[in-house]
Amino acid sequence: MSKKITVSKAIGEALHEEMVRDEKVFIMGEDMAVMGNVFAITKGFLEEFGPLRVIDTPISEEGFCGMAVGAAMRGLRPVVELMYNDFATVAADPILNQAAKMRYMTGGQCNIPMVLRCPMGSGRRNAGQHSQSLENFFCHFPGLKVIAPCTAKDAKGLIKAAIRDDDPVVSMEHKLLYAKKEEIPEEEYIIPLGVADVKREGKDLTIISWSREVNFSLEAAETLAKEGIDVEVLDLRTLVPLDWEAIKASVSKTHNVIIVSEEVKRGSYAGEISAQIAEELFDELDAPVERVCGLNIVSPFSPTLEDKNFPHPEDIVAAVKRVLNK
């Protein structure tokens, strides 16, 4: 049996089910309790679970992320939301220097079972400080695991796995996916971290992507199919740990690759994956790997300019044709 719900509802279900299952799980962030989250993800949670497990925080990201690290060290399982992933820069020390490194620096004596939920991405006219895609920022630091789902099913299954994981997990959630409705199973399920998903099979070229750009990649693949070009779309779902075996299998089949992400192209995680493919799968390639990413600019407030700031299906189509010399 299945049901059709939004991505935001699926995330809310994941949080609710895990809070019911394990009393050590609690959530906190700005406007998470009384307001029920700016995207209505935790509406009603305060009334059900009370103020000790659903916590409204001050506008102090460094403070409440530090609190979450301390709570995790004491055996609790905090799920923290940054209203926008951009604000992780304010909380860099507790996230990158404490949460990411504590398990290693204590010789495994101290785990940090913490989830950091990070709404990200362009398209809502939120301007430069509220529109970034910072997955490369988190992926750079050993000790953090990073997920970036594009569907309601994946979001629910991955977040449940993240909450149960004994390491800190960053959940990158594109804001424009929250309202997207999709079918998910009615029964409980978990999607393991580190397992990519082939969203569309093909033989001519592999598109590697994650989050919202997976949907754009699928649209591009349908357009290309009408012209006789058969594209495979590989949704990484988890960025760290990276499912290298899935990448290797797909590249070894199609021998052509583009990597699509919304992040700024310079210093992007797409560049890291591209480099790894070039280093380890060079003999499998018929052409250089191409990246299709956001522009190297501050995200504009202007709708016309912002819409040019991240890849659209037509940009992906053009990149595929360039790689295939079509």
Helices (H) and strands (E) in the chain, counts: 12, 14
Domain range list for the chain: 2-185, 197-324
pLDDT of residue 40: 87
Domains 2-185 and 197-324 share a fold: yes
Specify the pairing of strand 231-235 against strand 197-200: antiparallel
pLDDT of residue 78: 98
> Tell me: the pLDDT tens digits for 280-295?
999 999 999 999 999 9
pLDDT of residue 39: 85
Residue 47: CA atoms inside 13 Å, Cβ hemisphere, count?
4
Band (210; pLDDT cuts 50, 70, 90): very high
- Give Dmax over CA atoms of the chain in angstroms: 60
Q: What is the CATH number of domain 197-324?
A: 3.40.50.920
Q: What is the mean pLDDT of residues 294-299?
A: 92
pLDDT of residue 266: 96
For every residue of 184-246, DSSP letters joined together read: EESS-----TT--EEEE--SSEEEEE-THHHHHHHHHHHHHHTTT--EEEEE-SEEETT-HHH
130 among known catalytic residues = yes
Contact between residue 213 and residue 236 where contact means Cβ atoms under 8 Å apart: no
Burial of 249 (0-12, 13-18, 19+ CB in 10 A): middle
Q: Does residue 128 carry a pLDDT above 80?
A: no
Q: What mean pLDDT is reported for the chain? A: 96
Q: What is the mean pLDDT of residues 86-106?
A: 95
Q: Does residue 37 carry a pLDDT above 90?
A: no
Q: Residue 171 belongs to what H/E stretch?
A: strand 169-174
The span from the CA of 300 to the CA of 76, in Å, is 40
Sheet holding 231-235, edge to edge: 197-200, 231-235, 205-209, 257-264, 290-294
Right CATH for 2-185 from 3.40.50.970, 3.10.129.10, 3.40.640.10, 3.40.50.300? 3.40.50.970
**DSSP category for residue 89:** G
Q: What is the mean pLDDT of residues 32-43?
A: 89
Residue with tokens 């970036």: 148
**DSSP category for residue 142:** T
Q: What is the mean pLDDT of residues 255-270?
A: 97
pLDDT of residue 254: 98
Could you tell me if residue 316 is left (phi over 0), alpha (psi between -120 and 50 degrees) or otherwise beta? alpha
61 among known catalytic residues = yes
Residue among 125, 123, 122, 120 nearest 301 (CA): 125
Active-site hit among 130, 213, 232, 306: 130
> Tell me: the pLDDT tens digits for 51-85?
999 999 999 999 999 999 999 999 999 999 999 99
Contact between residue 255 and residue 288 where contact means Cβ atoms under 8 Å apart: no
Q: What is the mean pLDDT of residues 244-255?
A: 98
pLDDT of residue 131: 84
Band (88; pLDDT cuts 50, 70, 90): very high
The span from the CA of 120 to the CA of 135, in Å, is 9
Q: Does residue 148 carry a pLDDT above 90?
A: yes
Q: What is the mean pLDDT of residues 109-133?
A: 90
- The pTM of the full predicted model, rounded to 2 decimals, is 0.95
> Tell me: the pLDDT tens digits for 158-168?
999 999 999 99
Active-site hit among 13, 30, 61, 81: 61
